Amino acid sequence: MKFTELDLDAALQKGILDAGFIDCMPVQEKAFPLTLQYNDVCVQSQTGTGKTALFLISIYNIFLKNRNPRNKNALIIAPTRELAIQIEKEAVLLGKHLDFTCGCFYGGVGYTQQEKMLRDDVDIVIGTPGRLIDLNQKKKLDFQKTGILVIDEADRLFDMGFLPDIRKMLKKMPPYSQRISMLFSATLSYRAKELAWDFMNNPAEIEITPEKITVDQISQKLYHVGREEKMALLLGIFKKENPKNCIIFTNTKAKAHEVSKRLEHNGYKCRYIMGDLPQNKRLKIIDNIKSGKLKYLVATDVAARGLHVDDLEMVINYDLPNDAENYVHRIGRTARAGKAGKAISLACEKFIYGLESIEKLTHTKIPVAWPDETLLVRDISAGKHFRLEKEHSGRGKSRPSKPGRPTKSKDISRKSTKPSPAGKPRKHRESSARKKNIPDKSRKNPVRKLRPEDRLEYYRKKYGENFKPAATASGSTVPEKKKSLLQKVFALFTGD
């Protein structure tokens, strides 16, 4: 089926043509007859199958046909900020010739611009659960205005622990009979179906099998290699294949940082992204690889979903994922929209155990190759150690503490940073002992520095003219406490 065969507005058809869409993908061909007739749907479909265009075109069609109640908007819930941003870009492209607005709402950035969009009654709200709930609690976003609901990558939302948040949002929306709902998930699990049963209006189920993605359009290859030879093999693959762009996936943040730095030492311009990298930094890196400014990107699974790079030529699993579904999502970054792509996996002794579950999920045996000496390129960074600093957290680089070096007290941070007036030194705060005139035993007795005759004069002034060192003799009327003191004073003079 071609898009021109669909009963869509001419301006919307123009936007579809601008996006380069000619033929409907399988999921679109099955779902459009339902969504364009305002029916709820639950769709099992992987990323890269055209589901984003499916629900965006359906939303615009509902707006244009005036089936959407007055003052109602469309709400699209996405698991990650990257996916939300990508959806917004596609919405802008498809709606280029339409008079509808859309906005993206996610954490890690300020509220000012997002609140302004809500005050301007944005038509399509695209966001992550945390920020959407936050804006609702601040009474900036009204869930009662939701006329169309889209839950994208539901399984990912559930895995990230957002199911309670989604239920909380759904309970604040109009009843399912008063809105149109669409749910998309890689697998229609029990949790997805239960959510659909509770909050959707008798949705139709549509399933697209995942193996068509991983087998038909992607050329897969797996190398058995030792952990110590993985970098040399990666360099050999780059030398042989010379891909125009590539995403390399690792299982940990530390490994993503290490692989990126080793590639840079070997002359490959490369960056890495991970979950706790500052938002502005992540967006800049993603924009650079999308625009072609950056050729190689190392990523953890945070980029396995929602990161869309047009014409991505190659995906490399530097670490074979432990979760079979993550393998599908990783290699799904390439061969998008029916295009061809390559996926190469390096199976070492540490992660080889995930291979069986991957092949079971995809219903295919990944072709195995053994690297020869010609494919192993000398790693210039061999022997160097690359420790993940705290620079990705936005707090500056961490400095290792020296052995035996005491750490600074936390009380230092409480000192005032207010500068003292010009020309006036800052007064130090007096101790509580000095304020109460309590003698400071830690200080030396100044009387000790006086000559014997000066000491005697000092004590006569203090205790009176009748003061005599012999006042400790028997029969003295001096109190017992003072006797002890006078004995000590007498000892100062006599040296006893």
Alpha-carbon distance values, 80 to 7, 83, 107, 331, 456 (Å): 33, 5, 10, 18, 84
Which has the minimum average pLDDT: 118-132, 215-229, 385-399, 429-443?
Answer: 429-443
Q: What is the pLDDT of residue 55?
A: 96
Backbone phi and psi for residue 117, each to the nearest 5 degrees, phi listed first = -60, -40
Backbone phi and psi for residue 202, each to the nearest 5 degrees, phi listed first = 45, 60
Q: What is the pLDDT of residue 488?
A: 59
| Angle (nearest 5°) at CA 80 between 79 and 86 | 110
Q: What is the pLDDT of residue 156?
A: 82
Residue 162: pLDDT over 70: yes
Q: What is the pLDDT of residue 431?
A: 46
Residue 211: pLDDT over 50: no
The band of 468, judged by pLDDT with boundaries at 50, 70 and 90, is low
Please give the span between the terminal C-alpha atoms of the chain, in angstroms, as a whole number: 115
Tell me the torsion sign for CA atoms 446, 452, 457, 459: positive
The band of 65, judged by pLDDT with boundaries at 50, 70 and 90, is confident
Residue 338: pLDDT over 70: no
The Cα 128–Cα 81 span in angstroms is 6
pLDDT greater at residue 77 or residue 219: 77
Ordered DSSP codes for 205-219: EEE--THIIIIISEE
Burial class (CB in 10 A: 0-12, 13-18, 19+), 201: middle
Residue 98: pLDDT over 80: yes
pLDDT in tens, 405-432: 444 433 333 344 444 444 445 544 544 4
Q: Compute the mean pLDDT over every residue in the chain, rounded to the nearest whole number.
A: 80
pLDDT in tens, 66-77: 755 556 899 999
Q: What is the pLDDT of residue 93?
A: 94
Q: What is the mean pLDDT of residues 301-311?
A: 69
Which has the minimum average pLDDT: 129-138, 271-280, 386-395, 451-460?
Answer: 386-395
Percentage of the chain modeled with pLDDT above 90: 47
Q: What is the mean pLDDT of residues 456-466?
A: 69
Q: What is the pLDDT of residue 59?
A: 95
Residue 471: pLDDT over 60: no
Q: Which of 181, 126, 190, 192 is nearest to 153 (CA)?
A: 192
Q: Do 236 and 284 touch, CB atoms closer than 8 A?
A: no
Burial 21-42 (b: 16+ CB within 10 A, else e): beebbebbebbbebbbeebbbb
Q: What is the pLDDT of residue 445?
A: 60
Q: What is the pLDDT of residue 205?
A: 93
Q: At what angle do helices 279-291 and 81-94 cross, to 10 degrees?
A: 50
Q: What is the pLDDT of residue 458?
A: 75
Hunting for tokens 């800049």 — which residue is that?
A: 284
What is the amino acid identity at position 394?
A: G
Q: What is the pLDDT of residue 418?
A: 46
pLDDT greater at residue 283 or residue 64: 64
Q: What is the pLDDT of residue 374?
A: 87
Tokens of 405: 């070096």
The band of 234, judged by pLDDT with boundaries at 50, 70 and 90, is very high
Q: What is the mean pLDDT of residues 53-67?
A: 90
Q: What is the pLDDT of residue 442?
A: 45
Residue 274: pLDDT over 90: no
**Domains of the chain as residue ranges with CATH:** 3-208 (3.40.50.300), 212-393 (3.40.50.300), 443-494 (no CATH)
pLDDT in tens, 20-29: 899 999 899 9
